[in-house]
Amino acid sequence: MTTKRQRPRGTGTLYKRVEGGPWIARWYAHDGKRKEASTRTTDKAAAERILSKRLADTALRKDGVIDARLDAIQEQARRPISEHLDDYEAKLSAGGRTETHIQTQLYCIRQAAECDQWNTIGDVTADGVNRYAGSMKQSNRSAQTIRNHLAAIKSFVHWLFVNGKLSHDPLVSVKMPNAKADRKRKRRMLLHDEWEWLRLITIANPDRYSMTGQSRMLLYATAIQTGLRSSELRSLSRGNLFLANEKPYITCSASNTKNRKDARQYIQNDLADELREYVATKAPRSPVFAMPPRWDVASMLRDDLADARREWLESATNNPSEYEKRVQSDFLAAVNHEGEHLDFHALRHTCGAWLAMTGAHVKAVQSIMRHSSITLTMDTYGHLFPGQEANTVSNLPNMLGDGPQELRATGTADVAANAINRYRPKPRQLGRETVQSSAATCDDVVNSDTLKSRHLTLQNKGKCDNVQTDANNNNYAPGGIRTHDPRFRKPVLYPTELRAPSTGNRLYATRIL
């Protein structure tokens, strides 16, 4: 039997669900919603004090003295972390993320939660995440792997903060490791001669991983010419092939690309002809390549590489010295002596490397490889662009010439006049007098020897002694123009001997120090 105790309006209600049970408090919160909670006591006086405390807090929240958002944060902090992961998965799915990406992100978060024993989101701390990163490093995980795990965890916690589930982001201080400093797996490109051997041997090989030799060869060739990733190649259907155009190309929809943008990748005509013959009997919506599971694609390529290397070695068995040399080489090896791997993604790397080696513009390489920034393109393939540094340095002498040469008479008045005009200062205005355009050339100026003789004559007459002045003196040039202050470089009147007789106008020029 339920026992109720009536109270004045606005003061809440106390009641018992069962006889002898705890008192239940019921009241209206600051947002108008009815709240109900157990006081966890059978003492009526204690239950009255608890209800009064809740009513007082409600009044403070209505007046803004207590931030009501803290209550929501505290409520979210008490929820199990698994419930928050379900909400985060729904958020990623609504954002158009692929199922593989979603499961990878959740796996990284659950691994950290299990390692540091997170029961609620309130247990997430920067120290705990750093301990998790340290344990991964001790397990000899690469810096890129650690970076991927930390990126997933930080994205999840930041989402909690943005959506009001946490009062702050506790992982702001967590630093991401440098993936370039400790790369455990490096890829190498496929050399052109290696591709020729791989292409011929793959065609001749029998079926492997449910793919014929021809289909595997076309898959490898398409990956090299387009730079498409394994998942992107898997999504191709016959409708994505435009092989009848003058410049054939392959498209990949935004839903299947990594950057979520439509891709159009051009291919060569010979590959287009082979693909046209290969898909002639396929339905428009059927996949172009019946690829094996993603974890078997790299194994398929390595098996074909092993067969090609074996055939390449056997072709030199009649020459012992050549055979020994080939055994020691990295030709068609899945892993070379520097520890660089040749897996399926290395075919995409081969596409960018070959483009760089052919001298393609770096922006064109970025567009074909669909890199997010030019920095990524240069960091990956910058060392392969042929002779950029050497050509740039070799062009310096063309930019850094020997400077103006001494004028010499050539016997042609026009050549001498043009050479003089090259170094003549531009006309500038002085009061009401300006340099006339007709004074730009002088009929009586033939060569530099004439100018030298006139200059010596002027020096002997002493007419230009007061023109060459020192910056510390207060001398004035003819015409009353002050010349010692370098801030005022005003034109100085030429003597009578250098005036143009044909125009009768006075010539002005900047004093040559």
User: What band does 444 get if pLDDT is binned at 50, 70 and 90?
Assistant: very low
Identify the weakest region by mean pLDDT among 315-324, 445-454, 504-513: 504-513
Euclidean distance between CA atoms 333 and 346, whole angstroms: 13
Euclidean distance between CA atoms 27 and 36, whole angstroms: 7
Do 210 and 279 lie in one domain? The reply is yes
Decide the pairing of beta strands 340-341 and 263-266.
unpaired
Contact criterion met (CB below 8 Å) for 366 and 379: no
Identify the weakest region by mean pLDDT among 54-58, 238-242, 243-247, 328-332: 54-58
Mean pLDDT, to the nearest integer, of 458-470? 45
**Average pLDDT value for the chain:** 79
Please give the single-letter amino acid code of residue 478.
Answer: P
Identify the weakest region by mean pLDDT among 49-63, 94-108, 296-310: 49-63
Above pLDDT 70, what percent of the chain?
72
Identify the weakest region by mean pLDDT among 98-102, 267-271, 274-278: 98-102
Q: Is residue 481 part of a domain?
A: yes
Do 361 and 446 lie in one domain? The reply is no
Can you give the pLDDT at residue 483? 46
Can you give the pLDDT at residue 400? 52
Q: Is residue 424 part of a domain?
A: yes
The helix (H) or strand (E) run that includes residue 87 is helix 81-94
Mean pLDDT, to the nearest integer, of 254-263? 90
More confident residue, 415 or 138: 138
More confident residue, 398 or 159: 159
More confident residue, 456 or 10: 10
Opening angle at CA 222, ends 217 and 227, nearest 5? 135
pLDDT at 435 over 70: no
User: What band does 82 get if pLDDT is binned at 50, 70 and 90?
Assistant: very high
pLDDT at 351 over 60: yes
Can you give the pLDDT at residue 379? 85
> Which of 42, 66, 90 is the endpoint of a domain?
66
Q: How many domains does the chain have?
A: 4
Can you give the pLDDT at residue 77? 83
Determine how many CB atoms are found less than 10 A away from the CB of residue 447: 19
Q: Is residue 464 part of a domain?
A: yes
Contact criterion met (CB below 8 Å) for 60 and 71: no
Q: Is residue 479 part of a domain?
A: yes
User: What band does 67 get if pLDDT is binned at 50, 70 and 90?
Assistant: low
pLDDT at 60 over 90: no
User: What band does 29 get if pLDDT is binned at 50, 70 and 90?
Assistant: confident
Mean pLDDT, to the nearest integer, of 6-11? 56
The helix (H) or strand (E) run that includes residue 189 is none
Q: Identify the CA nearest to 346 among candidates 454, 185, 202, 128.
A: 185
User: What band does 9 get if pLDDT is binned at 50, 70 and 90?
Assistant: low
pLDDT at 333 over 50: yes
Identify the weakest region by mean pLDDT among 86-100, 132-146, 352-366, 429-443: 429-443
**How many angstroms from the chain centroid is the CA of residue 198?**
33
Mean pLDDT, to the nearest integer, of 423-445? 45
pLDDT at 479 over 70: no
Euclidean distance between CA atoms 401 and 71, whole angstroms: 75
Do 106 and 198 lie in one domain? The reply is no
**How many angstroms from the chain centroid is the CA of residue 501?**
68
More confident residue, 438 or 358: 358
pLDDT at 129 over 90: yes
**How many angstroms from the chain centroid is the CA of residue 402?**
42
Tokens of 175: 């630093």
User: What band does 185 get if pLDDT is binned at 50, 70 and 90?
Assistant: confident
User: Residues 379-420: pLDDT tens digits?
Assistant: 888 878 776 556 666 666 665 555 445 445 445 455 445 544
pLDDT at 292 over 70: yes
Domain housing 48: 3-66
User: Residues 149-158: pLDDT tens digits?
Assistant: 999 999 999 9
SS3 state at 80: strand
CA atoms within 13 Å, Cβ hemisphere of 136 = 22
Do 97 and 45 lie in one domain? The reply is no
Do 198 and 149 lie in one domain? The reply is no
Q: Is residue 492 part of a domain?
A: yes
Do 438 and 505 lie in one domain? The reply is yes
Which CATH number goes with the domain that contains 224? 1.10.443.10
User: What band does 458 get if pLDDT is binned at 50, 70 and 90?
Assistant: very low
Do 285 and 221 lie in one domain? The reply is yes
Do 265 and 354 lie in one domain? The reply is yes
Mean pLDDT, to the nearest integer, of 339-345? 92
Do 153 and 208 lie in one domain? The reply is no
Do 263 and 343 lie in one domain? The reply is yes
Distances (CA, A) of 488 to 388, 432, 474, 484, 512: 46, 17, 13, 8, 14
Can you give the pLDDT at residue 492? 46
User: What band does 248 get if pLDDT is binned at 50, 70 and 90?
Assistant: very high
Can you give the pLDDT at residue 390? 60
Segments in 95-212 forming alpha helices (H): 99-116, 126-138, 143-162, 192-204
pLDDT at 135 over 90: yes
User: What band does 100 get if pLDDT is binned at 50, 70 and 90?
Assistant: confident
Angle between the N-to-C axes of helices 345-357 and 362-369, in degrees from 0 to 180, rounded to the nearest 10: 160
Identify the weakest region by mean pLDDT among 59-63, 370-374, 476-480: 476-480
Do 225 and 364 lie in one domain? The reply is yes
pLDDT at 442 over 60: no
Q: Is residue 402 part of a domain?
A: no
Q: Is residue 176 part of a domain?
A: no
> Which of 27, 42, 66 is the endpoint of a domain?
66
Above pLDDT 90, what percent of the chain?
50
Do 284 and 208 lie in one domain? The reply is yes
Decide the pairing of beta strands 186-187 and 340-341.
parallel
